[in-house]
Chains A and B, each alone.
Chain A
């Protein structure tokens, strides 16, 4: 018995001779938020469909909550909620009726379903419009209705495929807040996206997909460490002092470049922030800002795929 709620080994999907997913290994721990990140066509959605048993695998094994989705699909689907890419609802029914339908398919009794639907709708803030036809809903409201469905079904794992694509910034941040609250409730969340900032802001770990393979699994920091040059990038702003002159005397500094008015970008082999600040102040400079610039996931991602291309 493993602590992993999802475990895939050598998972493969071929269409004809073309591998869309090419032998990926993935383990998802209970309660984590894992981001599946990669460009369009990298095999993210296909992987998700195989995890849910909605597409047959061409090779490899999948265990979801210790069950085989191809053999025990009902048990797997009972515990795993799926919000598809650009989710659709029946436009002629109201939001509440749409949820009632899926509740009945899930085998809930009417009273139980109504109670859960009310709670779920309140949580995604759709209670006011619950009885309006879905045709009148915006994109963001549809996605939230999709999340309400997962809540209503008490899913243990929520699989969200491109949950924020096509949403305005306001709806995006609302949706991300909701997804964060899922994780707080102990729901394991799998989010696929090609938008890096989104994954970075909610995920505890990321898996990078490229051409049907997973290139990297780990935290964002690990990713930055792996693809970076191992150097620290420091941004410093100070007035009334010659910063390059001071900085180049510090051991380990390899590069100093101007980056705007009174601002320099320094590359060093180690964290020299404390030392640099001390020296700048000692020499009478007025230090206004010193910052270890994070390698954003985006940069790490670009670096990663650049490296992957070079290797290829």
Chain B
């Protein structure tokens, strides 16, 4: 027998309340302050660098995202590193916090389905992240126009918008992860630590671990040159388990029109190519489409896991 009524009834009410809560919480203010400061810093440094070195570049604006001046990393790598932190801050006590405040049973006794609670929490978090990212994007453009004295070109806009969308999906992965932990683990502090550990492993340690794993999986045979290619590809595959790697590839491809591939390229494949000539935007997106789908799939998988556990969870602790 089918359930009566829509499982999505009340989703928007919950999402808007969650978003309002996030917007007014001190936690969110602090973390956004951190992001804004680092972003402003990175952009400012990039502008300095661009002013010092620029020749003629059709995609000058995109350089704002990618150019780094030592020792600061570029804006894009800052985002890859910090946005998970934003998402975790928004999601780590999403479900277990309701149990802790003893509001869960009261909310579930309202005429809504359980589905709406989790959907609403995810949507509310995404809404806040979306607003924050859009603000950041607009600020960057504003700074760029002011300090470079140039309007962005249509290509700049298209590519950076695609980058914005990919960033939203990447942050969604981490939000889904944080929500999944908040469903699985009853104590908010523990779920925060669990999510932060995963973040540390994937953002910092994964690039150190993956070569070892790869060399164990497909060792290089010095007498077989093809084994070197295999080893490289295995290493890449292992590294791509981390959403941070996928996001890094997407960012490089979208923000640097002259890059051609995220994997190894043979000289024969480069024959006839104009080195340094920009690819059309759509072609760049096509190259990283698997990465974007991968991120999206990861987000869906984590959310579904959280959803599955949450639907079966006892209302009482």
Chain A CB within 8 A of B57 CB:
no
**Contacts known (A49-B315, A101-B17); A88 close to B101, Cβ less than 8 A:** yes
Q: Mark A81-95, 1 if CB is under 8 A from B, else 0.
A: 111101111111000
A312, B13: Cα distance in complex, Å: 51
Interface centre among A49, A77, A88, A91 (most CB of B within 10 A): A88
Chain A CB within 8 A of B186 CB:
no
The reply to whether A101 and B108 form a contact with Cβ atoms under 8 Å apart is: no
Residues on B with C-beta less than 8 A from A54 are 105, 108-109, 315
Chain A CB within 8 A of B21 CB:
yes
Residues on A with C-beta less than 8 A from B107 are 102, 105
Distance in Å from the Cβ of A236 to the closest Cβ of chain B? 50
> How many residues of A sit at the interface, in one of the four size bands?
20 to 34
The reply to whether A91 and B315 form a contact with Cβ atoms under 8 Å apart is: no
Distance in Å from the Cβ of A75 to the closest Cβ of chain B? 7
A52, B109: Cα distance in complex, Å: 7
Please provide the chain A residues from 83 to 132 with a CB less than 8 Å away from any CB of chain B in the complex. 83-84, 86-92, 101-102, 104-107
* Total A-B contacts with CB atoms under 8 angstroms apart: 85
Residues on B with C-beta less than 8 A from A52 are 109
The reply to whether B13 and A104 form a contact with Cβ atoms under 8 Å apart is: yes
Interface of B is mostly: loop
Q: Mark A51-86, 1 if CB is under 8 A from B, else 0.
A: 010110000000000000001111101101111101
Distance in Å from the Cβ of B6 to the closest Cβ of chain A? 9
Residues on B with C-beta less than 8 A from A92 are 21, 24-25
Chain A CB within 8 A of B113 CB:
yes
Chain B CB within 8 A of A140 CB:
no
A75, B13: Cα distance in complex, Å: 19
Chain A CB within 8 A of B51 CB:
no
The reply to whether A105 and B13 form a contact with Cβ atoms under 8 Å apart is: yes
Chain B CB within 8 A of A146 CB:
yes
Residues on A with C-beta less than 8 A from B149 are none
Residues on A with C-beta less than 8 A from B106 are 82-84, 87-89, 102, 146, 149
The reply to whether A101 and B13 form a contact with Cβ atoms under 8 Å apart is: yes
Distance in Å from the Cβ of A28 to the closest Cβ of chain B? 17
Distance in Å from the Cβ of B65 to the closest Cβ of chain A? 36
The reply to whether A74 and B315 form a contact with Cβ atoms under 8 Å apart is: no
Q: Chain A: which residue is nearest B100 at the CB level? A: A88
Distance in Å from the Cβ of B116 to the closest Cβ of chain A? 8
The reply to whether A81 and B111 form a contact with Cβ atoms under 8 Å apart is: no
**Contacts known (A55-B314, A88-B103, A101-B17); A81 close to B9, Cβ less than 8 A:** no
Chain A CB within 8 A of B225 CB:
no
Please give the residue numbers on chain A whose beta carbons come within 8 Å of chain B beta carbons, in ascending order: 45-46, 49, 52, 54-55, 71-75, 77-78, 80-84, 86-92, 101-102, 104-107, 146, 149
28 A-B pairs within 8 Å (CB atoms) are namely A45-B316, A54-B109, A55-B315, A71-B3, A72-B3, A74-B4, A75-B111, A77-B110, A77-B112, A78-B111, A80-B109, A82-B106, A82-B109, A84-B105, A86-B102, A87-B102, A88-B102, A88-B103, A89-B101, A89-B103, A90-B21, A92-B21, A92-B24, A101-B17, A105-B10, A105-B110, A105-B112, A149-B106
* A-B complex: 6 closest residue pairs judged by Cβ atoms: A88-B102, A82-B109, A74-B5, A84-B105, A77-B111, A105-B110
